[in-house]
Chains A and B, each alone.
Chain A
Amino acid sequence: MDAAHLPDRFQSWFASRGWTPRAHQLQLIDHLSQGHSTLLIAPTGAGKTLAGFLPSLVELERQGKRKPGAAGRGIHTLYISPLKALAVDIARNLEAPVTEMDLPVRLETRTGDTPSHKRQRQKLNPPDILLTTPEQIALLLSDPASERLFASLRTVILDELHALVTSKRGDLLALGLARLRRLAPGLRTIGLSATVAEPDDLRAYLVDQPDTDERALAHLVQVSGGAQPDITILDSEERLPWSGHSSRYAIGDIYGLIKKHNVSLLFVNTRSQAEMVFQELWRINDETLPIALHHGSLDVGQRRKVEAAMAAGSLRAVVATSSLDMGIDWGDIDLVINIGAPKGASRLAQRIGRANHRMDEPSRAVLVPANRFEVLECQAALSASRRGEQDTPPLRNGALDVLAQHLLGLACADPLDALATYEEIRSSQTYRYLDWEIFEKVLDFVATGGYALKTYEQYAKLRKGKDGLWRIAHPKIAQQYRLNVGTIVEAPMLKVRLVKSKADGRRTPVGRGGRMLGEIEEYFIEQLAPGDTFLFGGEVLRFEAIRESEAYVSRAKTDNPMIPSYMGGKFPLSTYLAASVRAMLADPESWKELPDQVRDWLEIQREKSVLPRKDGLLVETFPRANKHYMVCYPFEGRLAHQTLGMLLTKRLERMGAQPMGFVANDYALAVWGLRDLSSLFSSGRISLDELFEQDILGDDLDAWLAESSLMKRTFRNCAVIAGLIERRHPGQEKTGRQVTVSSDLIYDVLRAHEPDHILLKATWNDAAEGLLDISRLGELLARIKGRITHTGLSHVSPLAVPILLEIGKEPVYGEAMDAILEEAAQELVLEALE
């Protein structure tokens, strides 16, 4: 399309701003006008959002003003964003062109914060453009009015699509899109995305899939380029730590960088790192530069303040977790500092994209590795960035718990025809491989719980009528659905409230009614005893007590807190970076780019032991302080290593090697025990090939899962999303915790009596991809088959030092719960005897 074909108002608006429409913006208008769904991949600063809306604005301009008294139009365009803040931000930005061109367009947002009278009005008198989130789409689709509301829908714009599709929210949205396509035939979708490894996955996500093996794809518009980012790895004079994630050694360097730039954005991987870095920076902040902290457990009000200060340009630096990763424009950031390992090449690219929103100038970034292995990881990420390689994960297979939620929602809107719904669902790329049998089981689950023992027919939520259609049994079911909608299951959180310490005056009860500092995971607080200290919101706090759903804390007088080990934001190393690190280790030629300290470390490893090979597995064994260690280097990420460690200790136990425990990080796994592992392996009494045989993922895994708390946590999430147990809503806690049925107990009963239940299948699927990373473990075992190298050493190798240093810092696994109780009880006996 030629810019000259744009309506006059648009041409003069562009001209008045001194702009010309960009090629990709015109291409998008073209594709849409021909009825084609399109994926737009463009770097930050390319005018991506405006490009997404232009086709709709042009169409709406041609439709002209609504005639007074004429029947209301339905929604023309839906804009869906992963963040409600982003939806609100975009709406604000879009107001400008709409007003300036005096377009006959009404645009509104709809999020969880929208007041109910406004939501009600939006249903009766919908805007032309509605900006919203995946959850709101699900809610609207469960409304009997949805058919009328979406009948004239023409376009759906999906922002930050690369981020949306990697989670269950993407599954929910995929199902929503399938329904929207049925309600509004001829619907076109626009996906806006950062650069990804497999654009075709996203193109397929955007369109209807045929009932054959062929894959239908949306059109693609790709804006190449932007300037190459200018990335360096911090070259510190300080000694590089062997292990840990604190980057404390580099704080002076980091502060120096902040001083030299206008606004720096400091990304860390976990909230505990954020807290630590923030505190350390202020410790040396002689010039009292305005440095702020931003992470997901801080009070919303506080986060908004930081965001506003950032946008207003009154801050010099913000320490942030992924809570700041996405979307919203933060003003003029001229430096991104990534502290710790990047974990993935694409992740890093997206973070660096936060700096400098003008696409023709290079973004500047400095990587700060926290330890020696992280230097290798940073180097690998840097090379990937130079080559423009991406490692975004492949498209997911749709989750069954999300499907269950969706089916109930559909039945709330309209009587549900099973076969037609099945076909509709399979038209989405995400669910196209869903079996009819599984679909039936999920439907049965929604109706009566899906148990082999059919005792709940009388209480059914869905009933099949004589016409063969499924209907909800009672209007209350729809209410229940509305309270449970969504796929984000937060770990149970406690509010953190500041009170006066009871240590001050012993007999006074814990004071009341102090300031709210934010929220913290219940399981973290569970690990604390009153008096323990931790960092939160940049302050050292002392845990006092739990009252109802609040954790009472006081200001601690210590500088040396026990740092919170929040799990939030701990991403495992990407497969792509792991492979690059392995390749780098195996190729001494490539070490030239590494700092001296790291190169020396690897040289000594080559001398004293051997280097891990690119596709094999190195297993070292050595004695140390009355124990025998086995260290292996799979480089498959912490989650897969933890699972492997659990399984190896079980198997070693059966082989008589008496293992005592293990510890895992992103790169390596160490197992230790009382028997001489070197001689057990070298004499052939234990075969390494057998130890790492793929069948370890069979019975051993199954036996372990029965007890695994990770599995139970996964089950809880699935049970909440699928609607088996109700979400806890604020204010409900007061009824007492013993009243809610523990999902752990449900898991135990279900596993013992109906191990084939659909919800256990959903849990297993999740665990394989998620907390247990079984799929990656399977790939590892296949890769190293017949390629295991064993080296017996007289003492610890250079490469093994980092993982051994993790012992005592990371939780040690492999100890049976009863054994811990036994020991604790024993200690008590000794105390009594003294």
Chain B
Amino acid sequence: MSVLTSHLRNYTAAPVCHDIPINGQLLGLHDSGVLWWPDENTLVVSDLHLEKASSYARRGVMLPPYDTGATLEKLAGVMDAFDPARVICLGDSFHDAKGSDRLPAPYRAMLTTLQLGREWIWVTGNHDPVAPVRLCGETVDEVSFGPLTFRHEPIEKIGSQETLGEICGHLHPAARVRRFGRSIRRSCFATDGTRLVLPAFGALTGGLNVTDEAYSMIFRRRQFSVFLLGNDRLFPFTASRLVGD
């Protein structure tokens, strides 16, 4: 697959991450949208939404059936670059509960290859509350390693002990920056130093602006930072510099 090899080429150099501390752990944010935890040799990816297009097709909306392939190819590139011992998929890995059942054979094989020789954890999400079928890996509702807890939906509390070291997805954070009368909107990581929200990784996943009400349940207003995904680096901004949609 030519697209696959081009991704490999992009990631053969040691991946450069933007390092930030969360609850005492040094974590690397990568411009592909994945999280790298070097001490644990762990890669975290959120909201793959595999088989999203086919989920729509069932209702007569024939979106291009290439999203699963595109997402998996991108993931394969990242896996090749980091070579993690453990992978955590932070929920909504499939767009609906039947998604893993629909997964076409070539993609199933591709995913299985990625899982070979690795500890693989499926965290359940609101789109995929059940364990995926005919795939390896352990399925959990949430999981903790050391001071970090991995779950799909953030707990809607601020400054609580429960949310310290929370790594989550679900919200699909995106941010808009305005400059020279033009505005640019990108997916992003969002963090206040105590917890971290990952961007959605899937090819057909949109984003929810971090100025939306939903984020006021988890961050103090304007007291958080975002890291916008650029072409080969991340762009940090404080929330006060951002505009709504």
Closest residue to B202 on the A side, CB-wise? A745
Cβ contact within 8 Å between A527 and B178: yes
- Minimal Cβ-Cβ distance residue in A for B71: A749
Query: How distant is the Cα of A726 from the Cα of B183 in the complex, in angstroms?
Result: 26
Q: Is the CB of A456 within 8 A of B176?
A: no
Contact with A along B200-219 (1 / 0, CB 8 A): 00011111100000000000
Asked if B14 is an interface residue, CB under 8 A from chain A, the answer is no
Q: With A821-B235, A825-B235 given, is the CB distance from A740 to B66 under 8 Å?
A: no
Docked pose: A750 CA to B236 CA in angstroms: 30
Interface string of A732-744 (1 = CB under 8 A from B): 0000111011100
Contacts of B104 in A (CB 8 A): 455
Q: Is B116 an interface residue (CB 8 A)?
A: no
Q: With A529-B243, A821-B228 in contact, do A453 and B66 touch (Cβ < 8 Å)?
A: yes
Task: Decide if B67 is an interface residue (CB 8 Å cutoff).
Answer: yes
- Is B100 at the interface (CB under 8 A from chain A)? no
Contact A746 B231 (CB under 8 A): no
B179 adjacent to A823 (CB under 8 Å): yes
Give bound CA distance, A746 to B69, whole Å. Answer: 14
Of B57-65, B83-91, B128-136, B138-146, the one with at least 4 CB within 8 A of chain A: B57-65
A726 to chain B: closest residue by CB: B61
Cβ of B78 to closest chain A Cβ, rounded Å: 17
| In the bound complex, CA of A741 to CA of B231 (Å) | 22
Known: A724-B62, A754-B66, A828-B237. A546 touches B206 (CB 8 A): no
A529 neighbours in B (Cβ, 8 Å): 178, 243
Chain B binder among A58-66, A223-231, A643-651, A812-820: A812-820
Q: How far is the CA of A705 from the CA of B197 in the complex (A)?
A: 32
* Known contacts A449-B57, A825-B236, A745 near B206 by CB under 8 Å: yes
Does A822 count as interface, using CB distance less than 8 angstroms? Answer: yes
A448 touches B228 (CB 8 A): no
Q: CA A480 – CA B3 in complex, angstroms?
A: 36
Contact B56 A741 (CB under 8 A): yes
Residue among A449, A546, A726, A820 making CB contact with B65, cutoff 8 Å: A449
Complex contact B61–A820 (CB within 8 A): no
Chain A interface, number of residues (Cβ within 8 angstroms): 50
A796 in the interface (beta carbon within 8 A): no
Determine if A753 is an interface residue (Cβ-Cβ < 8 Å).
Answer: yes
CA distance A728 to B66 in the complex (A): 24
| Chain B interface size, under 10 / 10 to 19 / 20 to 34 / 35 or more | 35 or more
Distance (whole angstroms) from the CB of B169 to the closest CB of chain A: 13
Which listed residue, A456, A474, A530, A817, touches B62 by the CB 8 Å rule? Answer: A456
Chain A nearest Cβ from B204, distance in angstroms = 5
Contact partners of B237 in chain A: CB under 8 A: 824-825, 828
Q: Which residues of A contact B172 (CB under 8 A)?
A: 738
Instruction: Please tell me if the beta carbons of B64 and A750 are within 8 angstroms of each other in the complex.
Output: yes
Chain B residue nearest in CB terms to A473 = B60
Which residues 673-716 of A sit at the B interface, judged by CB distance below 8 A?
Answer: none
Contacts of B244 on A, CB cut-off 8 Å? 530, 545-546
- Residue among B64, B69, B184 with most chain A CB within 10 A: B64
A753/B70 in contact, CB under 8 A: yes
A372 CB contacts on chain B under 8 angstroms: none
Which residue of B is nearest A522, CB measured? B245
CB–CB A811/B206 < 8 A: no
Given A820-B179, A820-B180, A821-B228, A476 and B70 contact (CB-CB distance below 8 Å): no
Residues of B within 8 A of A817 (CB): 184
Whether A742 and B61, one on each chain, are in contact in the complex, defined by CB atoms closer than 8 angstroms, is: no
Contact residues in A for B117 (Cβ distance below 8 Å): none
* A433 contacts the other chain (CB 8 A): no
* A477 lies within 8 A of chain B by Cβ: yes
- B60 engages A476 (CB within 8 Å): yes
Instruction: Please state if A448 and B66 are interface contacts (CB–CB under 8 Å).
Output: no
| Interface: A490 (CB within 8 A) | no
CA distance A767 to B9 in the complex (A): 34
Closest-by-CB residue of B relative to A759 is B64
Using known A-B contacts A526-B176, A529-B243, determine if residue A811 contacts B62 with beta carbons closer than 8 Å. Answer: no
Distance between Cα atoms of A825 and B18 in the complex (Å): 14
Cβ of A833 within 8 Å of any chain B Cβ, yes or no, is no
Besides A453-B65, A459-B54, A812-B180, 17 new A-B residue pairs in contact (Cβ under 8 A), listed by A number: A448-B62, A449-B57, A451-B66, A455-B54, A456-B57, A529-B178, A529-B243, A546-B245, A737-B245, A738-B206, A740-B206, A749-B70, A750-B64, A818-B231, A820-B177, A821-B179, A824-B235
* Residues of A near any B CB (own CB < 8 A): 445, 448-451, 453, 455-456, 459, 461, 474, 476-477, 480, 526-527, 529-530, 545-546, 724-726, 736-738, 740-742, 745-746, 748-750, 752-754, 757, 811-812, 815, 817-818, 820-825, 828
Q: Can you report 8 residue pairs joining A to B where beta carbons are below 8 Å apart?
A: A448-B62, A451-B66, A455-B104, A725-B63, A745-B205, A750-B64, A753-B69, A811-B182
